Amino acid sequence: MNKSLFHQLEGSAICFKPLDLKDTEAIFHFASDEDVSKFIGWDRMKDVEETEKFIELMQGREISGTHLYASIVLKTTKEIIGTAMIFNFDQEANHAEVGYVFDKKHWGKGYGTECVELMSNFAFETLQLHKLYAKVVDANISSARILEKNGFKLEGQLADHYFIDNRYYDALFWGKIQYENH
């Protein structure tokens, strides 16, 4: 798995770069936001030190080959606006999961759609994966829309799969298969 190529992905508005402890403050800014962290699958960061430890954990996962992570950079300002990830690789089935998180001041501007397109192209063309999938909390309508715009299909739903803020939410499973004659 060529993580250096993942870190070099570039679109029209965003590009990726490796996670770096020098960027802890920027990552803490969105990872500590209650609105951002509500549906992303990890706990809201309480302080910069906790964020630094989490970045180190993500870097360790990347070194072990189980995850790919990148900071998402807005090309016009060089500002870190989110994190992109490909993880849960299944070598036998040749598929993996995608995830993404953005600073809320950058929501609704098309960056999520561009991010998933970059990851999908990389996964299918470079990693030669057969399938990508994503698990989304049903209340996260914007995330589901990003996947749908990128050709992911809703494959299923698990009732009361997530328990967030003393409330149950369904999990929506989205998938995209790379066909050989595509």
CATH number at residue 33: 3.40.630.30
For the question of whether the overall pTM of this predicted structure is more than 0.85, the answer is yes
In a domain, 8, yes or no: yes
Task: Give 2's pLDDT tier (boundaries 50, 70, 90).
Answer: low
The percentage of the chain sitting over the pLDDT mark of 90, rounded to a whole number, equals 80
Distances (CA, A) of 12 to 15, 64, 111, 118, 169: 8, 31, 10, 10, 34
Average pLDDT of the residues in 158-179? 92
In a domain, 38, yes or no: yes
Chain-centroid distance of CA 156 in Å reads 20
* CB of 112 closer than 8 Å to CB of 120: no
Taking only the tens place, the pLDDT of each residue in 46-86 is 899 999 999 999 999 999 888 999 999 999 999 999 999 99
Classify burial at 46, counting beta carbons within 10 Å of its beta carbon; exposed 0-12, middle 13-18, buried 19 or more: exposed
CA distance 103 to 109: 11
Q: Which domain holds residue 126?
A: 3-132
CA atoms within a 13 Å half-sphere pointing along the CA-CB vector of 105: 8
Number of domains in the chain: 1
In a domain, 180, yes or no: no
Structure tokens at 173: 């499973």
In a domain, 140, yes or no: no
Structure tokens at 106: 């950058």
In a domain, 146, yes or no: no
In a domain, 70, yes or no: yes
In a domain, 158, yes or no: no
Classify burial at 36, counting beta carbons within 10 Å of its beta carbon; exposed 0-12, middle 13-18, buried 19 or more: buried
> What pLDDT was estimated at residue 179?
72
> What pLDDT was estimated at residue 119?
98
In a domain, 113, yes or no: yes
> What pLDDT was estimated at residue 181?
45
